[in-house]
Chain A
Amino acid sequence: MKNSDDIQKRLRKTIAAVFELEEQHLPEDPSPQTIERWDSLGHLQLIIAIEQEFNVHFTMEKIPKLTSLELITSEVLHATR
């Protein structure tokens, strides 16, 4: 489980950087509903940043579905396993 915590920590950092927010101001459950700039373009910027951060590659079908911290974490875990 430690691995998943670590990924969440790095993800929160990446999300904050992409949407230019202070990390401590990031909502508990970052998602397009809770972050204003997380629109469709913002989503792709975030996916690109996450791929670079974790050196992973998401499929075209996966990309639109990764819309919450939980979903992204489990996908990153899956991809880096």
Chain B
Amino acid sequence: MNVSSPHLPAVKVAVVSSYTVDLIVRDAAQQLKNSGSEVEWFVTPFGQYRQEILSNESALLKFQPNVILIALHGPELVENSLEISDLLMAASSRFATSTILVHNCALLLPLPMKFLEWNSDRSVRRAAAEVNVALSQLVSKLPNVHLLDLEELVSRYGAEKMYDARLYYLAKMQFSPFGTQAIATQLAWALLAIGGRRKKCLILDLDNTLWGGILGEDGVEHLRLSSDGEGKAFHDFQRHILALTTTGTILAICSKNDETPALQAMDSHPDMILRKEHFAAIRINWLDKSQNIRSIAEELNIGLDALVFLDDSPQERELVRIELPAVTVPDLPNDPSAYPAFLASLPYFETFSVTEEDASRRVMYAQERQRKEIQEGAKSVEEALMSLQIKVLVQSASAFTIPRIAQLTQKTNQFNLSTKRYTEAEIRALSSDPHCIVLCVSASDRLGDSGIVGVAILKTDTSPATIDTLLMSCRVLGRGIEQALVSVMQTIAQRHGTTTLAAEYVPTKKNGMVKKFLTENGFVSLNDQNKFVLEKSGEVPRWIKVQYEEF
């Protein structure tokens, strides 16, 4: 598995099952280890899953897992579906701070009456499908429980290939070595997705990647790109890429071409699906690609390790890999007909939930380009900021905002005081803790709504109160929103009887800007250079209108 991403913090993963999962765990552990992630594993004896989940004395409870995988035989899920629904509900509340993954129902054995199957009221396959629908509906109501699609793996690779009857009868293992590996890979990627390690931006080449042929040589009218026939492979590829943007992936172009004709081709070719407006950054020039990719990362304010680069040229790919090893550079297949399926097979953009910000990220980046233009055209920074009419709303965490709050703690690297990463389940627990205040800040202006862009977590059971987390998305930095947040945070803390706030700056390679911010905004450092105290914060900048809830 090729994950050149930052490491997961050491994560505790437990597996409870109705069959022997040791080989799956061993394989997943190896893959995660190779990717530099530290995982502590705990496997309960097979068949003990009920006791492990329900007992107050269970080893599972003592282990305090961050993630639990519940892996049950398909037939068991069908036969005991009601009881297992109850069990999942119990697991969701008993392990409220854990993320729980559940394999959905897959049947591995061929049925003796295949013609009769879907034509009978006793159809096993229909019952299995109904179980999966019921599970899907159930987990949509349980915020910390997600289905892991085992059925998809079995239908993609085939039960014959995934099942090994010998291992089942000898050791209650049921999966073949091939199946074991497929399941382990899926699990490893699921753990990375839960840890917020998904990639943020897909950078695309144009010639022979988004369309067939070379624009500069063949001309726009001879490009292979159509809604029918051979050129449909590129059309479908683009459609798949567009679908990624609805779950939060942003797009960029990096192509060696003349810019004007290339942009014209993008916006005028009748069968292009991706138009200029879909890209957050565009580099069409004759510069070195690694140089362009670096400047895309700077423009979008995201790390190189959050980028995936697709290009049909093996030479270009190799150069980028050498120059920018942090960028993920998969090998695009030689045959364009394989592009759409190849894109679908990439696990980098997988996620278990889509926040509102994910869904509208593309539009927000387009607005961001406009804001930059306004700032560049204005006489002074302040004039530009006044003209934006910025509004800021500070709210406490709620069911609607928790997914985005967790996402920000996982993704924000630069303006982040402590870089503490939290899962949704953990944020939920913190927000219901009476000694803890979880705030989020949303920003909007006359160009549009940026959604939730900042988070502050205050712990009030210490004296003075401690700022556990203070972070702001780098997209909105430098407009005074971070000053506004600190000011509001102190007002809210005052209502809880504490004026002074303590903050510990935890330095990383990327968050140097926080220290500078603290020293410039009323925080005083103590003997220990990274420990700060705030007695009186600055005012909210006058170009910002702040609203906040009663806390």
| A residues apposed to B, CB below 8 Å | 40-41, 44-45, 48, 51-52, 58-60, 63-64
User: A52 to B177, Cβ gap below 8 A?
Assistant: yes
Contact segment of B68-76, B81-89, B162-170, B378-386: B162-170
User: A60 to B23, Cβ gap below 8 A?
Assistant: no
User: Given A41-B23, A45-B23, A52-B177, A59 and B170 touching (CB < 8 A)?
Assistant: no
User: B171 to A41, Cβ gap below 8 A?
Assistant: yes
Residues of A within 8 A of B20 (CB): 41
Q: How far is the CB of B179 from chain A (nearest CB, A)?
A: 11
The 5 closest A-B pairs by CB, nearest first: A60-B166, A48-B177, A41-B22, A44-B171, A60-B169
Chain B positions 144-173 with a Cβ under 8 Å from a chain A Cβ: 165-167, 169-171, 173
| B residues apposed to A, CB below 8 Å | 20, 22-23, 26, 165-167, 169-171, 173, 177
Q: How far is the CB of B463 from chain A (nearest CB, A)?
A: 52
Among residues of A, the one whose C-beta sits closest to the C-beta of B168 is: A60
Q: How far is the CB of B174 from chain A (nearest CB, A)?
A: 12
Majority SS at the chain B contact face: helix
Q: With A and B bound together, what is the CA distance between A71 and B166 in angstroms?
A: 19
Q: With A and B bound together, what is the CA distance between A14 and B26 in angstroms?
A: 17
Among residues of B, the one whose C-beta sits closest to the C-beta of A41 is: B22
A-B contact pairs, 7 of them (CB 8 A): A41-B23, A44-B173, A45-B26, A60-B169, A60-B170, A63-B170, A64-B170
Q: With A and B bound together, what is the CA distance between A41 and B27 in angstroms?
A: 13
User: B23 to A59, Cβ gap below 8 A?
Assistant: no
Among residues of A, the one whose C-beta sits closest to the C-beta of B23 is: A45
Residues of B within 8 A of A58 (CB): 166
Residues of A within 8 A of B170 (CB): 44, 60, 63-64
Residues of B within 8 A of A51 (CB): 177
Q: How far is the CB of A26 from chain B (nearest CB, A)?
A: 21
User: B165 to A44, Cβ gap below 8 A?
Assistant: no
Residues of B within 8 A of A63 (CB): 166, 170
Among residues of A, the one whose C-beta sits closest to the C-beta of B26 is: A45
Q: How far is the CB of B178 from chain A (nearest CB, A)?
A: 10
Among residues of A, the one whose C-beta sits closest to the C-beta of B165 is: A60
Residues of B within 8 A of A41 (CB): 20, 22-23, 171
Q: With A and B bound together, what is the CA distance between A56 and B31 in angstroms?
A: 26
Q: With A and B bound together, what is the CA distance between A63 and B173 in angstroms?
A: 14
Q: How far is the CB of A70 from chain B (nearest CB, A)?
A: 22
User: A59 to B166, Cβ gap below 8 A?
Assistant: yes
Q: With A and B bound together, what is the CA distance between A76 and B409 in angstroms?
A: 55
Q: How far is the CB of B24 from chain A (nearest CB, A)?
A: 12
Residues of A within 8 A of B173 (CB): 44
Q: How far is the CB of A7 from chain B (nearest CB, A)?
A: 21
User: B23 to A44, Cβ gap below 8 A?
Assistant: yes
Among residues of B, the one whose C-beta sits closest to the C-beta of A40 is: B171
Residues of B within 8 A of A45 (CB): 23, 26
Q: With A and B bound together, what is the CA distance between A63 and B170 in angstroms?
A: 9
Among residues of B, the one whose C-beta sits closest to the C-beta of A60 is: B166
Q: With A and B bound together, what is the CA distance between A45 and B26 in angstroms?
A: 10
Q: With A and B bound together, what is the CA distance between A60 and B167 in angstroms?
A: 8
Q: How far is the CB of B277 from chain A (nearest CB, A)?
A: 50
Residues of A within 8 A of B26 (CB): 45
Residues of B within 8 A of A44 (CB): 23, 167, 170-171, 173
Among residues of B, the one whose C-beta sits closest to the C-beta of A45 is: B23
Q: How far is the CB of A54 from chain B (nearest CB, A)?
A: 14
Q: With A and B bound together, what is the CA distance between A72 and B106 in angstroms?
A: 35
Q: With A and B bound together, what is the CA distance between A51 and B167 in angstroms?
A: 13
Q: How far is the CB of B19 from chain A (nearest CB, A)?
A: 13
Residues of A within 8 A of B166 (CB): 58-60, 63
Q: How far is the CB of B22 from chain A (nearest CB, A)?
A: 5
Q: With A and B bound together, what is the CA distance between A44 and B169 in angstroms?
A: 12
Q: With A and B bound together, what is the CA distance between A58 and B167 in angstroms?
A: 11
Known: A41-B23, A41-B171, A52-B177. 10 other contacts (CB 8 A): A41-B20, A44-B167, A44-B170, A44-B171, A45-B23, A51-B177, A60-B165, A60-B166, A63-B170, A64-B170
Q: With A and B bound together, what is the CA distance between A41 and B24 in angstroms?
A: 12
Q: With A and B bound together, what is the CA distance between A64 and B166 in angstroms?
A: 11
Q: With A and B bound together, what is the CA distance between A47 and B293 in angstroms?
A: 47
Q: With A and B bound together, what is the CA distance between A70 and B169 in angstroms?
A: 25
Residues of B within 8 A of A64 (CB): 170
Q: How far is the CB of B118 from chain A (nearest CB, A)?
A: 32
Q: With A and B bound together, what is the CA distance between A59 and B167 in angstroms?
A: 10
Q: With A and B bound together, what is the CA distance between A45 and B169 in angstroms?
A: 15
Q: With A and B bound together, what is the CA distance between A48 and B164 in angstroms?
A: 11
Interface hub of A45, A58, A59 (most chain B Cβ within 10 A): A45
Q: How far is the CB of B378 from chain A (nearest CB, A)?
A: 64
Among residues of A, the one whose C-beta sits closest to the C-beta of B164 is: A48
